[in-house]
Amino acid sequence: MGAVKVLQELFPEPGRLQFIYADVGDAVNKIFKRNAFDAVMHFAAVAYVGESTQEPLRYYHNITSNTLLLVKAMATHGVKTLIYSSTCATYGEPEKMPIIEVTPQAPINPYGKAKKMAEDIILDFSKTSDIAVMILRYFNVIGSDPEGRLGEAPPPELREQGRISGACFDAAKGIIPGLKIRGVDYNTPDGTCIRDYIDVTDLIDAHVKALEHARPSKVGIYNVGTGKGSSVKQFVEACKRATGVDIKIEYLTRRPGDYAEVYSDPSKIRRELNWIARYTIEESLAIAWRWQKAHRNGYN
């Protein structure tokens, strides 16, 4: 809610920004009846791989079922443009890198499976409608607002499931005693997982361009990544440099549902949407660390 308050202060004009606190599955029809929309950007989802292996039914309900209800509401109310937030987790662990958009999808955890099911719903519906669809498959999102207004502040109960950048910053701030790296025996050069880390500001830019290029009866599917893979150990070293803190590291066994190596080929989104990632890991972490230092207790 802290981020919402910041946005409300930034855009106080009546009608400019409306915030409704609700479950998508419960309230979506009421929201569509009371408003007129030109387009939908569907971000809402639980999004922790480890948690999805522990609570699979929650993930299928939250991601797949709720997306079905959203698409049905769009059809009922004649909303013709959808930008959908998907994930590289739908690919699972492909045999070849980098990943292109036609790489076979074989997800290995409930999060990725639920997202792929949601994609299938959207794609099947698009074949019967003149809806404009843009599916963006995110890789690993990091960073914060470069102007210092918004940053990553997950609730305490999600810290254990949280993203590596948040854990690095918590360790650097002394909120937790150190960083836990899960899995050092993967088939990678240093034994830790390799991921493609994309800055959140670059991700926002991708959505803007996707909306600009959305066309009726057209489907666009795009990887949103840098095209470069970095190992968890490399990421942690970059975080140490950004924070200036020699973070203590504890090595643990693998987390269920993880895969060894995933990084993108973003040439399609560059070619068709004129989008390219601008921020390096180092730049992204430096910006995020400034926000973390200024907001030690999150938005509180």
Residue in 141, 234, 165, 167 with CA at minimum distance from that of residue 194: 234
Task: Rounding to the nearest 10 degrees, give the CA dihedral for residues 134, 86, 189, 171.
Answer: 130
Residue in 200, 289, 280, 174 with CA at minimum distance from that of residue 239: 289
Q: Angle between the 281-294 and 232-243 helix axes, to the nearest 10 degrees?
A: 50
Known catalytic residue at 222: no
Token code pair at residue 41:
């950007």
Residue in 261, 269, 277 with CA at minimum distance from that of residue 100: 269
256: cis peptide before it, omega within 30°? no
Type of residue found at 151: G
Label residue 237 exposed, middle or buried (CB < 10 Å: 0-12, 13-18, 19+): middle
Q: Which of 81-98 are b and which e, b meaning 16 or more Cβ less than 10 Å from the residue's Cβ? A: bbbbbbbbbbbbebeeeb
What is the DSSP pairing of strand 81-87 with strand 132-138? parallel
Can you say whether residue 249 is alpha, beta or left, with left for phi > 0 and alpha for psi between -120 and 50 degrees?
A: beta
List 111, 186, 259, 263, catalytic entry: 111
Pairwise CA distance, residues 269 & 276, whole Å: 8
Pairwise CA distance, residues 197 & 81, whole Å: 28
Residues catalogued as catalytic: 111
